[in-house]
Amino acid sequence: MTAAPGAGTETKVVLEAENLGVALPIDGKYVPITTDVSFSVRRGEAVALVGESGCGKSMTASAIMGLPPRGAKVTGRLRINGRDVLDLSPKRRRALCGSEIGFIFQEPMTALHPTLRIGRQMTDTLCHNLGLSRSAAMTRAAELLDLVGIPRPKDILKGYVHQLSGGMRQRVMIALALSCDPSLVIADEPTTALDVTIQAQVLDLMEKMRREFDVAMLFITHDLEVVGDFCDRAVVMYAGDVVETATAAEVTRAPHHPYTRGLIDAVPGTGLERLVPIGGSVPQIGAWPEGCRFAPRCSRATEKCAIRPPLEGAPMPDVRCWHPLTEERT
Ligand SMILES: Nc1ncnc2c1ncn2[C@@H]1O[C@H](COP(=O)(O)OP(=O)(O)OP(=O)(O)O)[C@@H](O)[C@H]1O
Protein backbone atom coordinates (compact mmCIF):
# COMPACT_ATOMS: atom_id res chain seq x y z
CA MET A 1 0.00 0.00 0.00
CA THR A 2 1.29 3.43 -0.86
CA ALA A 3 1.45 6.08 1.80
CA ALA A 4 -0.45 9.32 1.46
CA PRO A 5 0.89 11.44 -1.38
CA GLY A 6 2.11 14.91 -0.66
CA ALA A 7 0.31 18.20 -0.88
CA GLY A 8 -1.03 19.17 -4.26
CA THR A 9 -2.69 15.87 -5.09
CA GLU A 10 -5.37 16.07 -2.42
CA THR A 11 -7.83 17.86 -4.69
CA LYS A 12 -7.81 15.19 -7.38
CA VAL A 13 -11.34 14.07 -8.22
CA VAL A 14 -11.59 10.29 -7.90
CA LEU A 15 -15.30 9.74 -8.51
CA GLU A 16 -17.62 11.85 -10.65
CA ALA A 17 -21.26 10.92 -11.17
CA GLU A 18 -23.15 13.11 -13.62
CA ASN A 19 -26.89 12.62 -14.05
CA LEU A 20 -26.44 9.00 -13.10
CA GLY A 21 -29.67 7.06 -13.41
CA VAL A 22 -30.60 3.42 -12.90
CA ALA A 23 -33.79 1.89 -14.29
CA LEU A 24 -34.89 -1.70 -13.75
CA PRO A 25 -37.07 -3.83 -16.00
CA ILE A 26 -40.27 -4.44 -14.03
CA ASP A 27 -43.41 -5.95 -15.61
CA GLY A 28 -42.08 -5.44 -19.11
CA LYS A 29 -40.99 -1.79 -18.84
CA TYR A 30 -38.07 0.14 -17.39
CA VAL A 31 -38.91 1.80 -14.07
CA PRO A 32 -36.50 4.52 -12.86
CA ILE A 33 -34.95 3.82 -9.46
CA THR A 34 -32.59 6.81 -9.46
CA THR A 35 -32.39 9.84 -11.77
CA ASP A 36 -29.99 12.74 -12.24
CA VAL A 37 -27.65 11.76 -9.42
CA SER A 38 -24.66 14.09 -9.66
CA PHE A 39 -21.82 14.45 -7.17
CA SER A 40 -18.08 13.99 -6.89
CA VAL A 41 -15.61 12.67 -4.33
CA ARG A 42 -12.02 13.87 -4.14
CA ARG A 43 -8.99 12.04 -2.88
CA GLY A 44 -8.90 12.06 0.93
CA GLU A 45 -12.49 13.27 1.17
CA ALA A 46 -15.42 11.46 2.83
CA VAL A 47 -18.75 12.14 1.16
CA ALA A 48 -21.99 10.85 2.63
CA LEU A 49 -24.90 9.65 0.54
CA VAL A 50 -27.75 10.12 2.95
CA GLY A 51 -31.52 9.64 2.95
CA GLU A 52 -34.37 7.48 4.18
CA SER A 53 -34.63 3.81 3.35
CA GLY A 54 -35.65 3.29 -0.28
CA CYS A 55 -34.23 6.61 -1.58
CA GLY A 56 -31.78 4.87 -3.92
CA LYS A 57 -28.51 5.12 -2.00
CA SER A 58 -27.53 1.47 -2.41
CA MET A 59 -28.67 1.41 -6.05
CA THR A 60 -26.38 4.37 -6.74
CA ALA A 61 -23.52 2.55 -5.01
CA SER A 62 -24.16 -0.64 -6.98
CA ALA A 63 -24.09 1.34 -10.25
CA ILE A 64 -20.74 2.85 -9.24
CA MET A 65 -19.37 -0.58 -8.39
CA GLY A 66 -20.56 -1.93 -11.75
CA LEU A 67 -22.84 -4.38 -9.98
CA PRO A 68 -26.42 -3.19 -10.55
CA PRO A 69 -29.20 -5.82 -10.62
CA ARG A 70 -29.50 -7.98 -13.73
CA GLY A 71 -31.11 -6.16 -16.68
CA ALA A 72 -30.56 -2.69 -15.17
CA LYS A 73 -30.15 0.25 -17.55
CA VAL A 74 -27.55 2.68 -16.22
CA THR A 75 -27.50 6.13 -17.84
CA GLY A 76 -25.58 9.39 -17.41
CA ARG A 77 -21.83 9.59 -16.89
CA LEU A 78 -19.58 7.97 -14.38
CA ARG A 79 -15.87 8.72 -14.21
CA ILE A 80 -13.39 6.99 -11.95
CA ASN A 81 -10.02 8.71 -11.84
CA GLY A 82 -11.02 10.64 -14.94
CA ARG A 83 -11.94 7.58 -16.99
CA ASP A 84 -15.49 7.06 -18.28
CA VAL A 85 -16.47 3.62 -17.03
CA LEU A 86 -20.06 3.05 -18.16
CA ASP A 87 -18.90 2.06 -21.65
CA LEU A 88 -16.22 -0.39 -20.50
CA SER A 89 -16.74 -4.08 -21.17
CA PRO A 90 -17.86 -6.09 -18.10
CA LYS A 91 -14.40 -7.68 -17.93
CA ARG A 92 -12.51 -4.35 -17.95
CA ARG A 93 -15.02 -2.89 -15.53
CA ARG A 94 -14.50 -5.78 -13.07
CA ALA A 95 -10.73 -5.38 -13.37
CA LEU A 96 -11.01 -1.65 -12.71
CA CYS A 97 -13.29 -2.15 -9.72
CA GLY A 98 -10.98 -4.81 -8.28
CA SER A 99 -7.98 -2.53 -8.48
CA GLU A 100 -9.43 0.91 -7.78
CA ILE A 101 -12.49 0.45 -5.55
CA GLY A 102 -12.72 -1.19 -2.13
CA PHE A 103 -16.06 -2.07 -0.50
CA ILE A 104 -17.17 -2.23 3.09
CA PHE A 105 -20.63 -3.69 3.60
CA GLN A 106 -23.07 -3.37 6.47
CA GLU A 107 -22.97 -7.03 7.43
CA PRO A 108 -19.56 -8.64 6.96
CA MET A 109 -21.12 -12.11 7.37
CA THR A 110 -22.88 -11.68 4.03
CA ALA A 111 -19.72 -10.42 2.30
CA LEU A 112 -17.23 -12.89 3.82
CA HIS A 113 -17.42 -16.63 3.15
CA PRO A 114 -18.47 -18.59 6.25
CA THR A 115 -16.60 -21.83 5.47
CA LEU A 116 -13.37 -20.43 4.02
CA ARG A 117 -10.51 -19.49 6.33
CA ILE A 118 -9.98 -15.73 6.58
CA GLY A 119 -6.43 -16.15 5.24
CA ARG A 120 -7.71 -17.96 2.16
CA GLN A 121 -10.25 -15.22 1.41
CA MET A 122 -7.73 -12.46 1.83
CA THR A 123 -4.99 -14.16 -0.18
CA ASP A 124 -7.44 -15.03 -3.00
CA THR A 125 -8.22 -11.31 -3.32
CA LEU A 126 -4.56 -10.27 -3.09
CA CYS A 127 -3.37 -12.92 -5.58
CA HIS A 128 -6.14 -12.08 -8.05
CA ASN A 129 -5.95 -8.31 -7.90
CA LEU A 130 -2.25 -7.71 -7.24
CA GLY A 131 -0.77 -10.84 -8.82
CA LEU A 132 1.06 -11.80 -5.61
CA SER A 133 2.27 -15.34 -4.91
CA ARG A 134 0.32 -17.22 -2.21
CA SER A 135 3.08 -16.79 0.39
CA ALA A 136 3.62 -13.08 -0.38
CA ALA A 137 -0.16 -12.60 -0.19
CA MET A 138 -0.26 -14.31 3.23
CA THR A 139 2.46 -11.96 4.52
CA ARG A 140 0.58 -8.98 3.15
CA ALA A 141 -2.71 -10.23 4.65
CA ALA A 142 -1.08 -10.42 8.10
CA GLU A 143 0.29 -6.88 7.67
CA LEU A 144 -3.15 -5.62 6.71
CA LEU A 145 -4.82 -7.24 9.73
CA ASP A 146 -2.16 -5.71 11.95
CA LEU A 147 -2.79 -2.33 10.32
CA VAL A 148 -6.49 -2.44 11.20
CA GLY A 149 -5.74 -3.33 14.83
CA ILE A 150 -6.40 -7.08 14.83
CA PRO A 151 -4.24 -8.79 17.45
CA ARG A 152 -2.39 -12.03 16.57
CA PRO A 153 -3.03 -11.67 12.83
CA LYS A 154 -1.36 -14.96 11.91
CA ASP A 155 -3.77 -16.89 14.17
CA ILE A 156 -6.77 -14.97 12.89
CA LEU A 157 -5.82 -15.81 9.29
CA LYS A 158 -6.14 -19.50 10.16
CA GLY A 159 -9.64 -19.02 11.61
CA TYR A 160 -13.15 -18.43 10.29
CA VAL A 161 -15.24 -15.30 10.26
CA HIS A 162 -17.90 -16.69 12.68
CA GLN A 163 -15.18 -16.93 15.35
CA LEU A 164 -14.81 -13.13 15.37
CA SER A 165 -16.90 -10.45 17.07
CA GLY A 166 -18.91 -8.02 14.91
CA GLY A 167 -16.31 -5.27 15.32
CA MET A 168 -13.43 -7.61 14.40
CA ARG A 169 -15.32 -8.85 11.34
CA GLN A 170 -15.75 -5.27 10.22
CA ARG A 171 -12.01 -4.70 10.71
CA VAL A 172 -11.36 -7.69 8.42
CA MET A 173 -13.70 -6.09 5.85
CA ILE A 174 -11.78 -2.83 6.10
CA ALA A 175 -8.48 -4.68 5.65
CA LEU A 176 -9.90 -6.41 2.57
CA ALA A 177 -11.25 -3.14 1.20
CA LEU A 178 -7.79 -1.57 1.50
CA SER A 179 -5.91 -4.62 0.26
CA CYS A 180 -5.69 -3.48 -3.35
CA ASP A 181 -4.57 0.04 -2.50
CA PRO A 182 -7.85 1.50 -3.83
CA SER A 183 -8.33 5.17 -4.60
CA LEU A 184 -12.02 4.91 -3.63
CA VAL A 185 -13.68 3.03 -0.78
CA ILE A 186 -17.46 2.63 -0.77
CA ALA A 187 -18.85 1.90 2.69
CA ASP A 188 -22.55 0.92 2.78
CA GLU A 189 -23.91 1.43 6.32
CA PRO A 190 -20.66 -0.01 7.73
CA THR A 191 -21.54 0.54 11.37
CA THR A 192 -25.31 0.01 11.43
CA ALA A 193 -25.07 -3.59 12.65
CA LEU A 194 -22.63 -2.74 15.48
CA ASP A 195 -23.27 -1.54 19.02
CA VAL A 196 -22.44 2.08 19.82
CA THR A 197 -18.95 1.63 21.35
CA ILE A 198 -17.80 -0.64 18.55
CA GLN A 199 -19.36 1.75 16.02
CA ALA A 200 -17.13 4.53 17.34
CA GLN A 201 -14.03 2.31 17.14
CA VAL A 202 -14.77 1.27 13.56
CA LEU A 203 -15.43 4.88 12.53
CA ASP A 204 -12.17 5.95 14.16
CA LEU A 205 -10.35 3.24 12.23
CA MET A 206 -11.94 4.28 8.94
CA GLU A 207 -11.03 7.88 9.64
CA LYS A 208 -7.45 6.86 10.34
CA MET A 209 -7.27 4.81 7.13
CA ARG A 210 -8.74 7.68 5.12
CA ARG A 211 -6.18 10.16 6.43
CA GLU A 212 -3.24 7.77 6.29
CA PHE A 213 -3.83 6.51 2.76
CA ASP A 214 -5.66 9.51 1.37
CA VAL A 215 -8.49 7.43 -0.12
CA ALA A 216 -11.75 8.94 -1.30
CA MET A 217 -14.64 7.56 0.72
CA LEU A 218 -18.28 7.31 -0.27
CA PHE A 219 -20.19 6.66 2.90
CA ILE A 220 -23.76 5.44 2.55
CA THR A 221 -25.80 6.04 5.65
CA HIS A 222 -29.09 7.22 7.08
CA ASP A 223 -27.35 8.30 10.31
CA LEU A 224 -26.94 12.09 10.32
CA GLU A 225 -24.80 12.00 13.44
CA VAL A 226 -22.25 9.88 11.58
CA VAL A 227 -22.44 12.32 8.66
CA GLY A 228 -21.67 15.28 10.93
CA ASP A 229 -18.87 13.50 12.80
CA PHE A 230 -17.16 11.66 10.00
CA CYS A 231 -17.86 13.22 6.60
CA ASP A 232 -16.67 16.34 4.79
CA ARG A 233 -19.64 16.71 2.48
CA ALA A 234 -23.13 15.25 2.22
CA VAL A 235 -25.32 14.43 -0.75
CA VAL A 236 -28.94 14.10 0.37
CA MET A 237 -31.13 11.79 -1.70
CA TYR A 238 -34.89 11.58 -1.84
CA ALA A 239 -36.95 9.29 -4.08
CA GLY A 240 -34.08 8.56 -6.43
CA ASP A 241 -32.93 12.16 -6.69
CA VAL A 242 -30.23 14.36 -5.19
CA VAL A 243 -32.11 17.11 -3.34
CA GLU A 244 -29.27 18.90 -1.54
CA THR A 245 -25.47 18.90 -1.58
CA ALA A 246 -23.35 20.85 0.92
CA THR A 247 -20.65 20.43 3.51
CA ALA A 248 -21.57 17.90 6.21
CA ALA A 249 -21.62 20.70 8.80
CA GLU A 250 -24.02 22.79 6.69
CA VAL A 251 -26.33 19.88 6.00
CA THR A 252 -26.52 18.78 9.62
CA ARG A 253 -26.68 22.27 11.22
CA ALA A 254 -28.43 24.52 8.73
CA PRO A 255 -30.03 22.52 5.92
CA HIS A 256 -31.78 24.36 3.13
CA HIS A 257 -34.01 21.60 1.77
CA PRO A 258 -37.19 20.95 3.80
CA TYR A 259 -36.57 17.21 3.44
CA THR A 260 -33.12 17.50 5.02
CA ARG A 261 -34.63 19.60 7.84
CA GLY A 262 -37.24 16.87 8.30
CA LEU A 263 -34.53 14.19 8.53
CA ILE A 264 -32.72 16.19 11.23
CA ASP A 265 -35.85 16.90 13.26
CA ALA A 266 -36.69 13.19 13.21
CA VAL A 267 -33.53 12.07 15.01
CA PRO A 268 -32.65 12.34 18.72
CA GLY A 269 -30.09 14.92 19.83
CA THR A 270 -31.29 17.78 17.65
CA GLY A 271 -32.29 19.95 20.58
CA LEU A 272 -35.99 19.69 19.89
CA GLU A 273 -38.17 18.85 22.86
CA ARG A 274 -39.75 16.01 20.98
CA LEU A 275 -38.92 14.30 17.73
CA VAL A 276 -40.94 15.26 14.70
CA PRO A 277 -41.13 12.43 12.17
CA ILE A 278 -41.63 13.37 8.52
CA GLY A 279 -45.28 12.64 7.73
CA GLY A 280 -46.05 10.08 5.05
CA SER A 281 -43.47 7.88 3.38
CA VAL A 282 -41.08 7.82 0.43
CA PRO A 283 -43.18 7.30 -2.74
CA GLN A 284 -42.88 3.88 -4.33
CA ILE A 285 -40.76 3.53 -7.44
CA GLY A 286 -42.97 4.01 -10.49
CA ALA A 287 -45.29 6.28 -8.47
CA TRP A 288 -43.19 9.42 -8.06
CA PRO A 289 -45.09 12.72 -8.33
CA GLU A 290 -44.53 14.65 -11.59
CA GLY A 291 -43.17 17.78 -9.92
CA CYS A 292 -41.15 17.96 -6.72
CA ARG A 293 -41.08 14.40 -5.42
CA PHE A 294 -41.10 15.61 -1.81
CA ALA A 295 -44.04 18.03 -2.26
CA PRO A 296 -46.77 15.65 -0.96
CA ARG A 297 -44.93 15.48 2.40
CA CYS A 298 -43.76 19.11 2.51
CA SER A 299 -45.36 21.86 4.60
CA ARG A 300 -43.82 24.55 2.33
CA ALA A 301 -45.23 23.14 -0.91
CA THR A 302 -47.17 25.48 -3.23
CA GLU A 303 -48.61 25.20 -6.72
CA LYS A 304 -45.17 25.91 -8.12
CA CYS A 305 -43.98 22.55 -6.78
CA ALA A 306 -46.02 20.84 -9.50
CA ILE A 307 -42.96 21.68 -11.63
CA ARG A 308 -39.90 19.63 -10.77
CA PRO A 309 -37.22 21.96 -9.36
CA PRO A 310 -33.74 21.61 -10.85
CA LEU A 311 -30.71 21.13 -8.61
CA GLU A 312 -29.22 24.24 -10.20
CA GLY A 313 -31.51 27.10 -11.24
CA ALA A 314 -33.95 26.98 -8.32
CA PRO A 315 -33.50 29.82 -5.77
CA MET A 316 -30.45 28.24 -4.10
CA PRO A 317 -27.57 26.42 -5.74
CA ASP A 318 -27.34 22.70 -4.94
CA VAL A 319 -30.84 22.67 -3.40
CA ARG A 320 -33.62 21.06 -5.46
CA CYS A 321 -36.44 23.17 -3.99
CA TRP A 322 -38.56 26.16 -5.01
CA HIS A 323 -39.00 27.25 -1.37
CA PRO A 324 -35.73 26.49 0.42
CA LEU A 325 -35.11 27.34 4.05
CA THR A 326 -32.92 30.39 4.24
CA GLU A 327 -31.23 29.82 7.58
CA GLU A 328 -27.76 31.43 7.53
CA ARG A 329 -24.84 29.06 7.32
CA THR A 330 -21.93 30.18 9.42
N1 LIG B 1 -33.62 -5.62 -7.54
C2 LIG B 1 -34.62 -4.74 -7.35
N3 LIG B 1 -35.81 -4.89 -8.00
C4 LIG B 1 -36.80 -4.00 -7.83
N5 LIG B 1 -36.73 -2.92 -7.02
C6 LIG B 1 -35.58 -2.72 -6.36
C7 LIG B 1 -34.47 -3.62 -6.48
N8 LIG B 1 -33.46 -3.15 -5.69
C9 LIG B 1 -33.94 -2.02 -5.10
N10 LIG B 1 -35.20 -1.78 -5.51
C11 LIG B 1 -36.02 -0.62 -5.10
O12 LIG B 1 -35.31 0.54 -5.44
C13 LIG B 1 -35.53 1.56 -4.46
C14 LIG B 1 -34.20 2.07 -3.94
O15 LIG B 1 -33.55 1.01 -3.22
P16 LIG B 1 -32.15 1.18 -2.49
O17 LIG B 1 -31.81 -0.12 -1.86
O18 LIG B 1 -31.20 1.78 -3.42
O19 LIG B 1 -32.53 2.23 -1.35
P20 LIG B 1 -31.64 2.72 -0.13
O21 LIG B 1 -31.81 4.20 -0.07
O22 LIG B 1 -30.27 2.18 -0.22
O23 LIG B 1 -32.41 2.06 1.10
P24 LIG B 1 -31.81 1.27 2.37
O25 LIG B 1 -31.24 2.33 3.26
O26 LIG B 1 -33.01 0.61 2.95
O27 LIG B 1 -30.81 0.30 1.83
C28 LIG B 1 -36.42 0.92 -3.38
O29 LIG B 1 -37.75 1.29 -3.63
C30 LIG B 1 -36.21 -0.55 -3.59
O31 LIG B 1 -37.36 -1.27 -3.20
Q: Is the CB of 188 under 6 A from ligand 1?
A: no
Query: Cα–Cα distance between 253 and 170 in angstroms, integer?
Result: 30
Look at phi and psi of residue 267 and say left if phi exceeds 0, alpha if psi is from -120 to 50, else beta.
beta
Complex prediction ipTM: 0.97
Nearest ligand 1 atom, CA 62: 18
* 3-state secondary structure at position 146: helix
* pLDDT value of residue 9: 46
pTM of the model: 0.89
pLDDT for 330 equals: 62
Residue 258 CA to its chain's centroid (Å): 22
Ranges in the chain, pLDDT < 50: 1-10
Domains and CATH numbers, the chain: 13-111+181-306 (3.40.50.300)
The model's pLDDT over 9-42, given as tens digits with 9 standing for 90+, comes to: 446 999 999 999 999 999 999 999 999 999 999 9
Distance CA 261, CA 258 (A): 5
What pLDDT sits at residue 273? Answer: 59
Residue bearing the CA closest to ligand 1, atom 12: 33
For atom 30 of ligand 1, the residue with the nearest CA is 54
pLDDT at 271: 56
Per-residue HEC secondary structure of 203-241 comes to HHHHHHHHHHHCCEEEEEECCHHHHHHHCCEEEEEECCE
Nearest CA to ligand 1 atom 2: 69
Q: Can you tell me the distance from the alpha carbon of 47 to that of 297, in angstroms, rounded to the nearest whole number?
A: 26
- Rounded distance between C-alpha atoms, residue 11 and residue 95, angstroms: 25
Distance CA 63, CA 68 (A): 5
Angle between helix 166-178 and 134-147 (nearest 10): 120
- Say if ligand 1 is within 6 A of residue 24 CB: yes
Check: CB of residue 67 under 8 Å from CB of residue 101.
no
User: Distance (Å, rounded) from C-alpha 204 to C-alpha 200?
Assistant: 6
Ligand 1 atom index nearest CA of 240: 14
Cβ(189)–Cβ(67) below 8 Å: no
Interhelix angle 90-100/118-130, rounded to 10 degrees, is 120
pLDDT value of position 5 = 44
- Would you say 265 and 255 are in contact if contact means Cβ atoms under 8 Å apart? no
CB of residue 25 inside a 6 A radius of ligand 1: no
pLDDT of the residue at 306: 96
Residues in the chain: 330
